[in-house]
Chains A and B, each alone.
Chain A
Amino acid sequence: MLQFEDQQLVQFVLAGDTAAFNDLVERHQSRAYNLCVRMLADADAAADVAQDAFISAYKHLPSLRGEFRPWLMRIVANACRDVLRSQKRRPSVSLDLERDDDDAPAMQFADTSDGPEAALMKSELQKTIAVALGAIPDDQREVIILSDIQGLSYQEIADVTGINIGTVKSRLNRARSRLRELLLAAELLPRVRRHTHESNT
């Protein structure tokens, strides 16, 4: 199948090819949905918010300047922020998100090359992190999700969130510090650390 760059697809959409927009949706829906679901901790609401964000992106597509992906992620992040602001909803947890069904491959949780015990521990750590993220302030959670889950650089995070790099760094630092406190409180982190240390020695 012929693969087009995002910018080419955008040009097709602007020229009247509506189907090309759904190609963009297919390409970016996973990233957009994952940001929403980690921010909102509600799978159905996250799908609705992500889809609304895509519609908003389509509506404003003629005003797009620059690259599509950061622009789209900015719209998605804004939509999540709006939902959190309007509903004052805190992610309450979401062990459901990590359910062991065919669609959410549980085996991706951990690298089993370190042995089943390490894999189990990592899986437990990931579940605890998913819960602990809900206890972090929205602005810090957004930054740590973009950085440590989605793997964006400081500059990309600044583009998506509309804040400067210095603020990105300080929010990320506070988020990591808070997350570490929560994981220490759950007494999981020292156990994983000790296990890793013993495995290494």
Chain B
Amino acid sequence: MKTNPTLTDQDFQQLSALLDGALSSADATLLRQRMQTDAALQDAYTELALTQDAMRTMPTLKPPRSLRIDPQRLHQARGLRWWLISPPGGQLFPTLGVAMSLCFCLLFGAVAMQPVETHTLKGAVTSPATEVAPADQSVVIAPDANPLAGTPWAWLGAVTGAGILGGTVRWSWQIRSRKRAAKR
């Protein structure tokens, strides 16, 4: 048997929405008015409601066995993320992470704050004028000069280090909080 041909897809959508209370009050009133004069619409709604009621009151089936999982099996299921948050990794990695990111941050921060050293190449033209350094003087570059000093790259390194530091501190804080919550 087919569905009543007088019922359009839109009618059915509206009936379904009415059943879920998802129709606007104006549309719901209009649909209810139509149902009073359209027997097919009324029947369809009643059938939908009966079906939904029958489904809602279906029995909750009990699992044939308990689904509890053996702790050993759970332990084996642990992946990399578990390894990073549980002991000993959970104790070692946050500490190591904080220490390393702190070093990273300090190192790049120190480089970034170094004054920029300007060198004048001997023998090079230093101005549009005709001043030329004596050609016989050898070029000396200070051995401690850091090519990254004061550059945006050094600042970027320092900021990245600070970000990683913040992340690892937050991570270790979360692990500590969980442990405290579990103890409580």
Chain A interface residues (CB < 8 Å from chain B): 8, 11-12, 14-19, 21-22, 25-26, 29-30, 32-34, 37, 43-44, 46-47, 50-51, 54-56, 58-63, 97-98, 103-106, 108-111, 122, 125-126, 129-130, 144, 147-149, 151, 154, 169, 172-173, 176-177, 179-181, 183-185, 187, 189-190, 192-193, 196-197
Which residues of B sit under 8 angstroms from A108, Cβ to Cβ?
Answer: 57, 59-60
Interface 1/0s, chain B 46-58, versus A by CB < 8 A?
1110111011111
Which residues of A sit under 8 angstroms from B73, Cβ to Cβ?
Answer: 55
Q: Is the CB of A47 within 8 A of B63?
A: yes
Q: Is the interface of B mostly helix, strand, loop or mixed?
A: helix
Which of A18, A105, A185, A193 is close to B59, meaning CB atoms less than 8 Å apart?
A105
Q: Is the CB of B16 within 8 A of A173?
A: yes
Check: B77 CB closer than 8 A to any chain A CB. yes
Known: A16-B179, A183-B47. 15 other contacts (CB 8 A): A12-B178, A29-B67, A34-B60, A46-B63, A55-B74, A59-B77, A59-B82, A108-B59, A125-B54, A169-B17, A173-B16, A176-B16, A180-B47, A192-B50, A193-B47
**Size bracket, chain B contacts:** 35 or more
**Closest Cβ–Cβ distance, residue B107 to chain A (whole Å):** 31
Can you give 14 contacting A-B residue pairs, CB < 8 Å? A11-B182, A15-B175, A16-B86, A16-B87, A25-B67, A29-B67, A51-B69, A149-B55, A149-B56, A154-B22, A176-B12, A180-B44, A184-B1, A196-B46
Check: B6 CB closer than 8 A to any chain A CB. no
**Closest Cβ–Cβ distance, residue A41 to chain B (whole Å):** 11
Which of B16, B22, B51, B178 is close to A14, meaning CB atoms less than 8 Å apart?
B178
Q: With the chains together, A46 CA to B62 CA distance in Å?
A: 11
Q: Is the CB of B3 within 8 A of A62?
A: no
**Closest Cβ–Cβ distance, residue B19 to chain A (whole Å):** 8
Check: B79 CB closer than 8 A to any chain A CB. yes
Q: With the chains together, A47 CA to B69 CA distance in Å?
A: 12
Q: Is the CB of B54 within 8 A of A54?
A: no
Which residues of B sit under 8 angstroms from A30, Cβ to Cβ?
Answer: 60, 62-63
Check: B78 CB closer than 8 A to any chain A CB. yes
Check: B119 CB closer than 8 A to any chain A CB. no
Q: In chain A, what residue has the closest Cβ to B22? A: A154
Known: A26-B68, A125-B50. A148 touches B3 (CB 8 A): no
**Closest Cβ–Cβ distance, residue A113 to chain B (whole Å):** 12
Chain B interface residues (CB < 8 Å from chain A): 1-3, 12-13, 16-17, 20, 22, 43-44, 46-48, 50-52, 54-69, 71, 73-75, 77-79, 81-82, 84-87, 175, 177-179, 181-182
Q: In chain B, what residue has the closest Cβ to A103? A: B62
**Closest Cβ–Cβ distance, residue B10 to chain A (whole Å):** 10
**Closest Cβ–Cβ distance, residue B16 to chain A (whole Å):** 5
Known: A16-B86, A21-B74, A173-B13. A104 touches B62 (CB 8 A): yes
**Closest Cβ–Cβ distance, residue B54 to chain A (whole Å):** 5
Q: With the chains together, A34 CA to B64 CA distance in Å?
A: 11
Q: In chain B, what residue has the closest Cβ to A21? A: B74
Which of A8, A47, A105, A187 is close to B181, meaning CB atoms less than 8 Å apart?
A8
Known: A125-B54, A183-B47. A63 touches B60 (CB 8 A): no
Q: Is the CB of A33 within 8 A of B81?
A: no
Q: In chain B, what residue has the closest Cβ to A176? A: B16
Which residues of B sit under 8 angstroms from A185, Cβ to Cβ?
Answer: 1
**Closest Cβ–Cβ distance, residue B79 to chain A (whole Å):** 5
